[in-house]
Structure formats: C-alpha cells, structure tokens
Chains A and B, each alone.
Chain A
Amino acid sequence: MRSDRVRLIVSLILLVAAIVAMLLPGGRQAKGLARLFSRIKLGLDLSGGVRLEYKVDIEKGVENPAAVVDDVWTVLRNRLDSAGYTEAVVKKSFRENNSFIIIEIPDATDTTKAEKLVGSTGLLWFGQAIDERDYDPTVNPDDVNLALREGAQWYADKNGKKWYLIKKEINNRKDLVLVGPRVVEAVPTIDQKGVANYVVSFTLDRQFVELFKNITKELYVPEQVLNAGTTQYQLALKKRLAIVLDDKVQFVGFVVSPIEDGRGQIRGNFTFDEAKELAAILRSGALPARLEKTTASLVSPTLGKDVLQQSLNAGIIGMILVMVYMIAFYGIMGIVAAIGIIYALIIIFGFLAGTGAILTLPGIAGIIFTIGTLVDGNVIIYERIKEEIRAGKTPKAAIEVAFSRSFWTLFDANLTTIIAALFLYYFGTGTIKGFAITTIVGIFAAMFMNLVFSKFLLDAMAGAIRVRKAGGAQ
C-alpha cells in the first residue's frame, strides 16, 4: 500500500535522525552501549554535584533590578572561575517577581567551598603595579626576594597567565591606600577617541574622590612620556594602577591624566564584553545585593551513579515484563508492540540527545512510566482489531477500521496526561521539570509509534494474523 510506504519512510527518517542525534560527537566518555547515551545531559541528581540557589535581595527603589542581577552574575562567575570551578554553570532565574541566581557545579563533592565563595563579600582595591611576569614568580627565589625588598606582593591575573608585583600603598605613602571603594556607576562606553573599542567609564562615591585624586596624581604618566623612549617607559611601567578583586588582578594600566572629580575612564582595547565585565567588577567589588540561600543540594557522584543504576534496572526489567506480557497475550501483534517500545525509546533518547534537554531522575521515572503507557495505544488498537475480526472482517479491513476508530480515543487519552504534565512543567521547580519533559516527549513518541510505526508493521504482518484465525475456524 502506498500510504504504508509513506509511513515506513517517515518512521525510518525519524529513527535515523534520532540515532544520529545520539551518536554525534561531543558526548561524555563512554564505552560500549553506554556510548549511545553519552550525549544525553544528565541532571546533577544523577551525575552528582552541587546546586545552589540564591534569592537576590534587591533593595526597593533600585531603578534597574535586572542590571543588579547581571552584576551579581558577573561577580559570581568571576569568583567561581578564579577558584577553578570553570565547569560551574551560573544561571539567572526570575519567578514570581523575585530574582534568583542558580549555581550548578557538576562532580563537586562538597558545598562548603562553593558556598564560601558566594558568601564572601568580595574585596576590591586599587594598588600600584611595579613589575610583571609571564610565569609564576611565587616559586622563583629571585622574584620572591624582589617582592620582599619592595614591600609588595605578587598577584596573579584573573586568567592565571600573568603575575603582577603590586603595592597597596601607592608610592609607599601610607595615606594613599584605596581598599573597598564604592563605585556608584561603571558602564562600558564607546571610545570617544574614534577607535572602535570600548572603555569603561566609572564614577566613585564622593567620599573616595579626594583620595583617588591624590592617587592618580602620584601615578600620573603623561602620554608623551609613554612614547618618549625605553628608559622613560621602563620607569612608567613601575607606576601603573592595578585593580584587584579578591586578590585577582582585573586590570593594570597607566593613568594618563589625574582624575579630579572621581570620574575616570579605563582604556584597554576592550571588546564590549570585556568592558562590561570590568564595569561589573568595579560596580560590585562587593556584591551589589544581598544573596539569601534558598535551596542547596549536594549529591555525591557515587549516590548519583547508584540511583541511575537502580532506575535503569527498574526500567529494563519493567520493559522486559511489558514485552513478554504483550507477546504472550497478543502473539504476532505483541511482537509489533515490543518492537514499538524499542522504537519509541530510541526516539525519546534521540530527542533528549538532540535538544540537550537535561535528564533528571524524575525524568527517568517519566520514561519508565512511558514504557508502561506506550503500549496502551497498542492494546486499544489490538482489542479493536480482535473485535472486528470476531465480527467477521478480514484482518486487513479490521486493522483499517481499528486505526481509524482508535485515533480519537488515543488522542483523548493522551490529552489529559499532557494537561497534567504541562502544568507540572510550568509550576514545577527543580528536577521535577525533567519528569514533565520526558512524559510529554514520551506521549508524542508513543502516539507516533502507535499510529504510524505500528500500522505498517501490522499491515505487513496481517497475513500472519489471518492464517492463524482461518486455521482456527476450519
């Protein structure tokens, strides 16, 4: 039949797409069959790790709360990066007029370190950079001695690639120490000098203006000096301003004019993103808002593995039971259902691998529940086929009638489950969303399997059904 050929082709295309989605490179390291699932992203409840959620406590009357949350995000991102948590994911989330920051650290086995990073107030200070190295000078005796002689300390930059020798006391003047300045405004702006670069314009709080003026006067290096020759330049290199956050150097540069009014510009060939980041760091040496821990969870990778194994066992045994039962009860048609289960599962896993949806433990529960309900459609259709055959129709005709009559029953039956899953997705928090996702995907995979994939298999096997029935009648 032509329509069956169309069904076969569509089913095969979907199958190939799903398998390709599962086998594309870029997944986790895995061997054997596990490779099939290596591209499916696992939730922290399965892979193990730390998830922290904080409510961003924004003071009333703040003009642009979203900007505050952005700043918090940048500060936390920097802190996590500089502490080596480059795998960590920091997300912003908005619910019910509240803003949240979510931090997820895969494979972490303890929350204390991460929570401390978030909890620390963060210290921003301005200092004087007098030297720099491209290697780690803290293990080089000469450099260590140099630091001791100068009364300065080596600090790594935020990427850990460069080290600067920095003094907190500008030109050794005890009255010129600027720690924890309040920056009232800092924004990335386009360089006025016509270069297609960004600069960071900032404004200090009034109480720091005088101090900053004196510091910039001390460090001031006229631009012509910079171009005057090597000796002069070498001297100027010892008079650079350094911006340090949490003991990581964020910026080092020359002061090309004294800043009298607390309004300065930092120029450094920044891209927009770099300028934005530096602006956020200036604005928020201390976090711009209080963070209140709302939920924290730690799942050790071993527990996650155990839980994954348990649920996989449950799923596999459950699936085998369903297959055996279907084949025992429906014979040939049961085999179609058993193949259908595998088909639908490949589609579901292909969808997860292809879209990057995160598979959580409730998500697996959703898939296991789906295995049980996948064949509901088959049962409904098969019972109808049996009825029609009993009523005297040929298997071919019975299959046609059963499919056309069962479509709306299946649609109805699945609609109610979709309603429940959709609201769970919308209002659900955390991992339960994973359940809603796999349930909904599972329902669509099941309907496709029931109505399209099974149809041509059944049609192809209709002969076998008839032979048995006819034999019984003779």
Chain B
Amino acid sequence: MKIDFVGKRYYFIALSIVLIVVSLISIFTKGFNVGLEFIGGSELVVKTSENYTVADIRSKIASIGPEFKKARVIEVHAIGQAEEKTFSIVVSPKDEKGALRTYKAEEKGQIAAKVEELLKGKVVSFNEVSGDAADEIKNLTWKAVVFTLLGILVYVALRFKFAFGVGAVLALVHDVIITAGFYSIFGVEMNIAAIAALLTLVGYSVNDTIIVFDRIREFGRKYKGKDMANIVNDSINSVIIRTINTSLTTFFTIFMLLLFTTGSIKSFAFGMTIGVVVGTYSSIFIASPIVIRWVKSI
C-alpha cells in the first residue's frame, strides 16, 4: 500500500499555514503566560482541602497587601489529587519607586502565615526571583536559544545540500512557531522548562527530517532519472513506519508526564507532547514535499 503524500502536499501546506497564522496571531495578541523566572516576583503554592475556586482565592488574599490585589492565581491540576486543591499565586511586590523587589525575611514568614490562615491550607512552596535575576535568566535563555539554533543550522548546512537544508530549517521554524502558539492559546506557562522543551524539540524534530532526507538521497541515487516527486513519495512511504514508531514511543512517555505531573514540568511535557506530534507531521508532510521544488538532482 502506497499513500500519495506528495500529491496532496498543497492541502498539508495550507493546513500548516493556517496553524502558523493562528499561532502567530495568538502569540502577538494574547501573548504568553510568562513564568516567574522571566518576569520576577514571588510565587506561593498553596494546598488546601477547602473547595475554593480561583475567584475565591483572589478575593480572600486581596487583603494581604497591594500586590495581592493584582495576584495571578492558577489552579494546578494533576491526576490523583482529588481531595486537595493546589493553587499557584504569583505576585509582584514593588518598592517605593515602583521597582520589583524581593521580600524581607520576616515579611515572608508573615505572608506565608497569613495565606495559610486565610485559605485554611499549607504553603508548600515559596519562590522568589528578583528583577535582576529575571533579566539575567532571560539573557541566558536567549543565548541558549540562539546558540542551539545556530548549532543546528551549522550542522544542517554541513550535512545537507542547500535545498535540503532549507527544507529542514523551514520544518523547524514551522514546529517551533506552532508549538509556541499552543503555549499561547492554552495559556500554559512559558518558563525555562518550556524553553527546554522547545530546544529539545528542535533537536529531536530535525532527526525525523534527517531520516526522510537520507532516504530521498538513497533512492535518488538508486533510481536516477526518475521523477523527483515519485522518489520523494516512495521515500516517505518507505520510512513512514519507523517515523511513526519512533514518535509514538516518545509520545507515550511524554504524554504520561503531561497527565501525571504538575508545575513547571507540566509545561515541559506540554511542549514536548505537542512538539512530537507537530514535528512528526512536518517531517512527513511538510519538509519533504517542499524540497521537490528546489531539488533537480540528488
């Protein structure tokens, strides 16, 4: 059985363009739910056995201080935590000049005690990131992103002919934009773990593309003179099972991580889960069909 991937490529390209446009619109209008590491401030994670809603929490903690009136409150879900509810409260305490500040030692104790009293719960985590630290983390994270992308570009450039390189890079850009778009659309926290997911995804997704491209080169040499579209289609058909199997096994583990965990690691699992699906899709339906246009000979 042979599936005509190449013949239907315009449908898939159209679908991808729609996904990319939707993602970009969401990223630029709604933006990201940026994690504490990048914006700075304080986060309290509270566990309570009371059946509060996010709105309840907001109104209860407003009295603690001015920054708590503008707190970001998120309920944290995970499988197997039915009896207790967990909430994350993020606040940005300011000093007299309006700059972000960290709490003093005594202040922290008082705030934690107050939150526990008001919510009849327990503060299980209290994290702070100063403005300077957030700037530094942002700066370092940018470097990690830029260097990783450069590293992979150099690798792709050395490894492939120009046309294949363009195909691989386009597929990567495609994967990253759509995965980032999902973060924005679903309001999943964009934190360091999420960036780690995006970078790992870049490294991982390029693998699937490499497998297809290698096969195209192999078949191209074997069946010299044959129509390029046919060669590409045959190549995709011959590697599709292994592409699906490698992605599926990764999907199994990473999806379980998404189901079972909470907090920053859920952000990682979310990006990986979406990314593995999008990356596999792009290696099969996007990366290879678009090289046909440029490749005249192998």
Q: Does B268 contact A (CB under 8 A)?
A: yes
Contact B148 A420 (CB under 8 A): yes
Given A315-B253, A423-B148, the answer on whether A302 and B124 have CB atoms closer than 8 Å is yes
Q: Which of B243-261 contact A (CB under 8 A)?
A: 245-246, 248-257, 259-261
Given A373-B204, A412-B207, the answer on whether A420 and B253 have CB atoms closer than 8 Å is no
A368 to B202: give the CA distance in the assembly, Å: 18
Q: Does A413 contact B (CB under 8 A)?
A: yes
Contacts of A416 in B (CB 8 A): 152, 155, 202-204, 206-207, 210
A37 to B229: give the CA distance in the assembly, Å: 53
Contact B249 A325 (CB under 8 A): yes
Contact A293 B128 (CB under 8 A): yes
Q: Does B126 contact A (CB under 8 A)?
A: yes
Given A116-B106, A321-B253, the answer on whether A427 and B155 have CB atoms closer than 8 Å is no
Contact A319 B192 (CB under 8 A): no
Contacts of A303 in B (CB 8 A): 45, 47, 124-125
Q: Which of A369-390 contact B (CB under 8 A)?
A: 369, 371-373, 375-376, 379-380, 383, 387
Stretch of A67-75, A216-224, A429-437 contacting B (4+ beta carbons < 8 Å):
A429-437
Contact A423 B199 (CB under 8 A): yes
CB distance from B41 to the nearest CB of A (A): 11
**B205 closest partner in A (C-beta):** A416
A429 to B129: give the CA distance in the assembly, Å: 12
Number of A interface residues at 8 Å Cβ cutoff, please give it. 74
Q: Which of A324-359 contact B (CB under 8 A)?
A: 325-326, 329
Contact B137 A369 (CB under 8 A): no
A409 to B218: give the CA distance in the assembly, Å: 13
Given A365-B265, A412-B210, the answer on whether A294 and B148 have CB atoms closer than 8 Å is no
A412 to B106: give the CA distance in the assembly, Å: 54
Q: Does B4 contact A (CB under 8 A)?
A: no
**B105 closest partner in A (C-beta):** A115
Stretch of B16-24, B91-99, B138-146, B177-185 contacting A (4+ beta carbons < 8 Å):
B138-146
Q: Does B190 contact A (CB under 8 A)?
A: no
A319 to B260: give the CA distance in the assembly, Å: 14
Contacts of B204 in A (CB 8 A): 373, 416-417
Contact A314 B257 (CB under 8 A): yes
Stretch of A23-31, A251-259, A305-313, A463-471 contacting B (4+ beta carbons < 8 Å):
A305-313
A436 to B148: give the CA distance in the assembly, Å: 13
> Which of A307, A313, A318, A371: most chain B CB closer than 10 A?
A318
Select which of B105, B214, B251 is within 8 A of A372 by beta carbon. Answer: B251
Given A307-B261, A369-B253, A427-B143, the answer on whether A420 and B211 have CB atoms closer than 8 Å is no
Q: Does B237 contact A (CB under 8 A)?
A: no
Select which of B152, B249, B263 is within 8 A of A419 by beta carbon. Answer: B152
Select which of A119, A426, A430, A439 is within 8 A of B144 by beta carbon. Answer: A426
CB distance from A127 to the nearest CB of B (A): 28
**B201 closest partner in A (C-beta):** A420
Q: Which of A384-416 contact B (CB under 8 A)?
A: 387, 409, 412-416
Given A379-B245, A379-B246, A419-B152, the answer on whether A295 and B199 have CB atoms closer than 8 Å is no
Contacts of A436 in B (CB 8 A): 196
A452 to B118: give the CA distance in the assembly, Å: 59
CB distance from B34 to the nearest CB of A (A): 16
Q: Does A66 contact B (CB under 8 A)?
A: no
Q: Does A111 contact B (CB under 8 A)?
A: yes
Contacts of A16 in B (CB 8 A): none
A299 to B125: give the CA distance in the assembly, Å: 5
Number of B interface residues at 8 Å Cβ cutoff, please give it. 77
Select which of A319, A369, A414 is within 8 A of B250 by beta carbon. Answer: A369
> Which of A110, A111, A317, A432: most chain B CB closer than 10 A?
A432
Q: Does B230 contact A (CB under 8 A)?
A: no
CB distance from B138 to the nearest CB of A (A): 11
Contacts of B257 in A (CB 8 A): 311, 314-315, 318, 365, 368-369
Given A115-B108, A325-B252, A362-B193, the answer on whether A310 and B260 have CB atoms closer than 8 Å is yes
Contact B106 A296 (CB under 8 A): no
A430 to B193: give the CA distance in the assembly, Å: 11
Given A294-B132, A295-B128, A362-B193, the answer on whether A321 and B148 have CB atoms closer than 8 Å is no
Q: Does A298 contact B (CB under 8 A)?
A: yes
Contacts of B248 in A (CB 8 A): 325
CB distance from A342 to the nearest CB of B (A): 14
CB distance from B123 to the nearest CB of A (A): 8
CB distance from A56 to the nearest CB of B (A): 13
Contacts of B202 in A (CB 8 A): 416, 420
Q: Does B104 contact A (CB under 8 A)?
A: yes
Q: Does A63 contact B (CB under 8 A)?
A: no
Given A314-B260, A420-B203, the answer on whether A294 and B196 have CB atoms closer than 8 Å is no
Given A380-B246, A383-B242, the answer on whether A419 and B133 have CB atoms closer than 8 Å is no
> Which of B47, B79, B105, B151: most chain A CB closer than 10 A?
B105
Contact B200 A368 (CB under 8 A): no
Contact B250 A313 (CB under 8 A): no
Contact A372 B78 (CB under 8 A): no
Contact A427 B106 (CB under 8 A): no
A439 to B264: give the CA distance in the assembly, Å: 17
Q: Does A447 contact B (CB under 8 A)?
A: no
Q: Does B3 contact A (CB under 8 A)?
A: no
Contacts of B126 in A (CB 8 A): 111, 296-298
Contact A430 B109 (CB under 8 A): no
Contacts of A424 in B (CB 8 A): 144, 148, 196, 199-200
A417 to B275: give the CA distance in the assembly, Å: 14
Q: Does B10 contact A (CB under 8 A)?
A: no
A369 to B239: give the CA distance in the assembly, Å: 22
Contact A419 B196 (CB under 8 A): no
Select which of B211, B241, B253, B261 is within 8 A of A413 by beta carbon. Answer: B211
A119 to B106: give the CA distance in the assembly, Å: 10
Given A293-B130, A311-B257, the answer on whether A421 and B203 have CB atoms closer than 8 Å is yes
A391 to B239: give the CA distance in the assembly, Å: 16
Q: Does A292 contact B (CB under 8 A)?
A: yes
**B202 closest partner in A (C-beta):** A420
Q: Does A151 contact B (CB under 8 A)?
A: no
Given A116-B105, A380-B246, A428-B144, the answer on whether A419 and B151 have CB atoms closer than 8 Å is yes
Known: A294-B130, A321-B252, A369-B257. 18 other contacts (CB 8 A): A96-B136, A116-B105, A295-B128, A299-B124, A307-B265, A310-B80, A310-B261, A311-B261, A319-B253, A361-B265, A372-B249, A379-B249, A380-B246, A416-B152, A420-B148, A426-B144, A427-B143, A429-B136
Per CB-CB distance, the 8 closest pairs between chain A and chain B, nearest first, are A318-B253, A372-B250, A115-B105, A420-B203, A112-B109, A427-B144, A372-B253, A294-B133
Could you jot down 9 A-B contacts, CB within 8 Å? Answer: A96-B136, A318-B254, A368-B257, A412-B207, A417-B204, A423-B148, A423-B151, A424-B199, A424-B200
